[in-house]
Structure 1
Protein backbone atom coordinates (compact mmCIF):
# COMPACT_ATOMS: atom_id res chain seq x y z
CA UNK A 1 0.00 0.00 0.00
CA UNK A 2 1.24 3.46 -0.82
CA UNK A 3 2.02 5.98 1.84
CA UNK A 4 -0.25 9.05 2.00
CA UNK A 5 0.94 12.65 2.07
CA UNK A 6 1.24 13.61 5.73
CA UNK A 7 -0.21 16.78 7.15
CA UNK A 8 2.39 17.14 9.90
CA UNK A 9 5.60 18.42 8.43
CA UNK A 10 9.09 19.07 9.69
CA UNK A 11 10.47 22.58 10.02
CA UNK A 12 12.81 23.75 7.28
CA UNK A 13 15.70 23.72 9.77
CA UNK A 14 15.04 20.01 10.44
CA UNK A 15 15.04 19.26 6.69
CA UNK A 16 18.27 21.21 6.21
CA UNK A 17 19.87 19.09 8.96
CA UNK A 18 18.85 15.72 7.44
CA UNK A 19 21.80 13.47 6.67
CA UNK A 20 22.02 11.19 3.66
CA UNK A 21 19.73 10.90 0.66
CA UNK A 22 16.16 12.18 1.01
CA UNK A 23 13.33 12.79 -1.44
CA UNK A 24 10.79 15.37 -0.32
CA UNK A 25 7.57 14.72 -2.21
CA UNK A 26 5.16 17.68 -2.06
CA UNK A 27 1.53 17.11 -3.04
CA UNK A 28 -1.90 16.16 -1.72
CA UNK A 29 -3.83 12.93 -1.40
CA UNK A 30 -6.61 14.18 -3.71
CA UNK A 31 -4.37 15.52 -6.51
CA UNK A 32 -4.79 13.65 -9.80
CA UNK A 33 -1.23 14.49 -10.94
CA UNK A 34 0.10 13.15 -7.63
CA UNK A 35 -1.85 9.92 -7.97
CA UNK A 36 -0.62 9.46 -11.55
CA UNK A 37 3.02 9.98 -10.56
CA UNK A 38 2.87 7.82 -7.44
CA UNK A 39 3.55 4.43 -9.09
CA UNK A 40 6.46 5.88 -11.08
CA UNK A 41 8.04 7.39 -7.99
CA UNK A 42 7.51 4.31 -5.85
CA UNK A 43 8.91 1.96 -8.52
CA UNK A 44 12.03 4.11 -8.86
CA UNK A 45 12.48 4.40 -5.10
CA UNK A 46 12.14 0.62 -4.70
CA UNK A 47 15.50 0.35 -6.48
CA UNK A 48 17.07 2.78 -3.98
CA UNK A 49 16.24 1.40 -0.51
CA UNK A 50 18.73 3.73 1.18
CA UNK A 51 16.83 6.84 0.09
CA UNK A 52 14.39 8.27 2.62
CA UNK A 53 11.04 9.31 1.08
CA UNK A 54 9.00 11.99 2.87
CA UNK A 55 5.56 12.72 1.42
CA UNK A 56 4.52 16.15 2.66
CA UNK A 57 1.05 17.56 2.15
CA UNK A 58 1.30 20.97 0.58
CA UNK A 59 -1.08 23.86 0.09
CA UNK A 60 -1.72 27.48 1.05
CA UNK A 61 -0.14 28.43 4.35
CA UNK A 62 2.20 25.42 4.40
CA UNK A 63 5.61 26.87 5.24
CA UNK A 64 7.81 23.97 4.12
CA UNK A 65 6.45 23.98 0.58
CA UNK A 66 6.74 27.75 0.40
CA UNK A 67 10.35 27.61 1.57
CA UNK A 68 11.11 25.30 -1.39
CA UNK A 69 9.06 27.51 -3.75
CA UNK A 70 6.69 24.66 -4.67
CA UNK A 71 4.13 25.83 -7.24
CA UNK A 72 2.81 22.60 -8.82
CA UNK A 73 2.13 19.11 -7.48
CA UNK A 74 3.77 16.78 -7.21
CA UNK A 75 7.13 18.41 -6.79
CA UNK A 76 9.98 16.11 -5.81
CA UNK A 77 13.00 17.72 -4.18
CA UNK A 78 16.07 15.47 -4.01
CA UNK A 79 18.35 16.27 -1.07
CA UNK A 80 21.79 15.04 -0.08
CA UNK A 81 22.76 16.02 3.46
CA UNK A 82 20.07 18.71 3.49
CA UNK A 83 21.14 20.31 0.20
CA UNK A 84 18.98 20.23 -2.93
CA UNK A 85 20.71 18.38 -5.79
CA UNK A 86 17.75 17.85 -8.14
CA UNK A 87 14.07 18.66 -8.57
CA UNK A 88 11.25 17.17 -10.62
CA UNK A 89 7.86 18.75 -11.14
CA UNK A 90 5.02 16.48 -12.26
CA UNK A 91 7.21 13.57 -13.35
CA UNK A 92 5.62 11.56 -16.14
CA UNK A 93 8.14 8.74 -16.60
CA UNK A 94 10.23 6.61 -14.28
CA UNK A 95 13.40 7.38 -16.25
CA UNK A 96 13.32 11.00 -15.08
CA UNK A 97 12.86 9.86 -11.49
CA UNK A 98 15.73 7.36 -11.84
CA UNK A 99 17.99 10.04 -13.28
CA UNK A 100 17.22 12.41 -10.42
CA UNK A 101 17.80 9.61 -7.90
CA UNK A 102 21.20 8.95 -9.46
CA UNK A 103 22.27 12.49 -8.51
CA UNK A 104 21.91 11.47 -4.87
CA UNK A 105 24.62 8.85 -5.33
CA UNK A 106 27.20 11.27 -6.73
CA UNK A 107 29.61 12.91 -4.28
Structure 2
Protein backbone atom coordinates (compact mmCIF):
# COMPACT_ATOMS: atom_id res chain seq x y z
CA UNK A 1 0.00 0.00 0.00
CA UNK A 2 1.28 3.47 -0.73
CA UNK A 3 0.14 6.96 0.18
CA UNK A 4 -3.50 7.27 1.27
CA UNK A 5 -5.37 10.45 0.46
CA UNK A 6 -8.34 10.08 2.82
CA UNK A 7 -8.53 9.75 6.57
CA UNK A 8 -10.06 6.59 8.04
CA UNK A 9 -13.74 6.98 8.86
CA UNK A 10 -13.31 4.72 11.90
CA UNK A 11 -9.96 4.67 13.62
CA UNK A 12 -8.36 1.26 14.09
CA UNK A 13 -7.89 -0.23 17.54
CA UNK A 14 -4.41 -0.09 19.04
CA UNK A 15 -4.28 -3.91 19.09
CA UNK A 16 -5.00 -4.02 15.35
CA UNK A 17 -2.26 -1.48 14.60
CA UNK A 18 0.22 -3.40 16.77
CA UNK A 19 -0.67 -6.69 15.05
CA UNK A 20 -0.42 -5.33 11.49
CA UNK A 21 2.09 -7.20 9.33
CA UNK A 22 5.14 -5.31 8.16
CA UNK A 23 5.72 -1.61 8.60
CA UNK A 24 2.95 0.84 9.45
CA UNK A 25 3.03 4.61 9.11
CA UNK A 26 0.36 6.18 11.32
CA UNK A 27 -0.57 9.74 10.42
CA UNK A 28 -2.59 11.59 13.05
CA UNK A 29 -4.34 14.76 11.93
CA UNK A 30 -7.53 16.13 10.42
CA UNK A 31 -8.59 16.96 6.87
CA UNK A 32 -9.28 20.61 7.78
CA UNK A 33 -5.90 21.12 9.54
CA UNK A 34 -3.64 23.52 7.65
CA UNK A 35 -0.46 21.93 9.02
CA UNK A 36 -1.72 18.51 7.93
CA UNK A 37 -2.52 19.69 4.41
CA UNK A 38 0.86 21.42 4.13
CA UNK A 39 2.66 18.16 5.00
CA UNK A 40 0.93 16.08 2.30
CA UNK A 41 3.26 16.77 -0.67
CA UNK A 42 6.35 15.75 1.33
CA UNK A 43 4.59 12.70 2.74
CA UNK A 44 3.36 11.67 -0.71
CA UNK A 45 6.93 12.00 -2.05
CA UNK A 46 8.35 9.92 0.82
CA UNK A 47 5.85 7.10 0.45
CA UNK A 48 6.33 6.93 -3.33
CA UNK A 49 9.46 4.89 -2.59
CA UNK A 50 7.84 2.49 -0.11
CA UNK A 51 4.96 0.58 -1.68
CA UNK A 52 5.06 -2.08 1.06
CA UNK A 53 4.35 0.38 3.90
CA UNK A 54 0.83 0.43 5.34
CA UNK A 55 -0.18 4.10 5.58
CA UNK A 56 -3.02 4.72 8.03
CA UNK A 57 -4.42 8.24 8.23
CA UNK A 58 -6.20 8.65 11.56
CA UNK A 59 -8.57 11.59 11.98
CA UNK A 60 -7.63 12.55 15.50
CA UNK A 61 -9.47 14.67 18.04
CA UNK A 62 -10.71 14.96 21.58
CA UNK A 63 -11.63 11.59 23.06
CA UNK A 64 -10.01 9.55 20.27
CA UNK A 65 -8.24 6.65 22.01
CA UNK A 66 -5.58 5.83 19.40
CA UNK A 67 -4.14 9.34 19.39
CA UNK A 68 -4.11 9.37 23.18
CA UNK A 69 -2.37 5.97 23.24
CA UNK A 70 0.44 7.53 21.20
CA UNK A 71 0.54 10.78 23.18
CA UNK A 72 -0.37 12.91 20.15
CA UNK A 73 -0.52 16.61 21.02
CA UNK A 74 0.09 18.35 17.68
CA UNK A 75 -0.98 17.58 14.12
CA UNK A 76 0.22 16.08 12.00
CA UNK A 77 2.09 13.51 14.04
CA UNK A 78 3.62 10.67 12.01
CA UNK A 79 4.69 7.43 13.70
CA UNK A 80 6.48 4.48 12.09
CA UNK A 81 5.75 1.12 13.74
CA UNK A 82 6.87 -2.42 13.16
CA UNK A 83 5.33 -5.24 15.21
CA UNK A 84 3.80 -2.62 17.50
CA UNK A 85 7.18 -1.03 18.28
CA UNK A 86 7.64 2.67 17.57
CA UNK A 87 10.70 3.20 15.36
CA UNK A 88 10.42 6.90 14.55
CA UNK A 89 8.19 9.92 15.06
CA UNK A 90 7.96 13.30 13.33
CA UNK A 91 5.67 16.16 14.32
CA UNK A 92 4.54 18.93 11.96
CA UNK A 93 6.83 18.23 9.00
CA UNK A 94 6.87 20.69 6.14
CA UNK A 95 9.54 19.36 3.79
CA UNK A 96 10.87 16.01 2.68
CA UNK A 97 13.98 16.78 4.76
CA UNK A 98 11.78 16.93 7.88
CA UNK A 99 10.76 13.32 7.15
CA UNK A 100 14.35 11.99 7.23
CA UNK A 101 13.83 10.15 10.56
CA UNK A 102 10.86 8.31 9.05
CA UNK A 103 12.86 7.39 5.93
CA UNK A 104 15.67 6.02 8.08
CA UNK A 105 13.20 3.87 10.02
CA UNK A 106 11.53 2.66 6.83
CA UNK A 107 14.94 1.64 5.47
CA UNK A 108 15.71 -0.56 8.50
The two structures have a TM-score, normalised by structure 2, of 0.90
Q: Does 1:22 align with 2:24?
A: yes
- Tell me how far apart the structure 2 counterparts of residues 99 and 17 of structure 1 sit (CA, whole Å): 23
The two structures have a TM-score, normalised by structure 1, of 0.91
Contact 1:79 1:104 in 2 (8 A): no
Contact 1:19 1:82 in 2 (8 A): no
Aligned-CA RMSD value: 1.6
Aligned residue in 1 for 2:83: 81
Aligned residue in 2 for 1:56: 58
Structure 1: stretches of 5+ with no match in the other structure: none
Structure 2: stretches of 5+ with no match in the other structure: none
Match of 1:95 among 94, 97, 100: 97
Aligned residue in 1 for 2:71: 69
Query: Once the 2 structures are TM-superposed, how far is the Cα of residue 103 of structure 1 from its aligned partner?
Result: 1.2
Aligned residue in 2 for 1:10: 12
Aligned length: 106
Contact 2:79 2:86 in 1 (8 A): yes
Contact 1:44 1:98 in 2 (8 A): no
- Tell me how far apart the structure 2 counterparts of residues 14 and 28 of structure 1 sit (CA, whole Å): 21
- Tell me how far apart the structure 1 counterparts of residues 80 and 42 of structure 2 sit (CA, whole Å): 15
Q: Which runs of 4+ in 1 moved over 6 A?
A: none
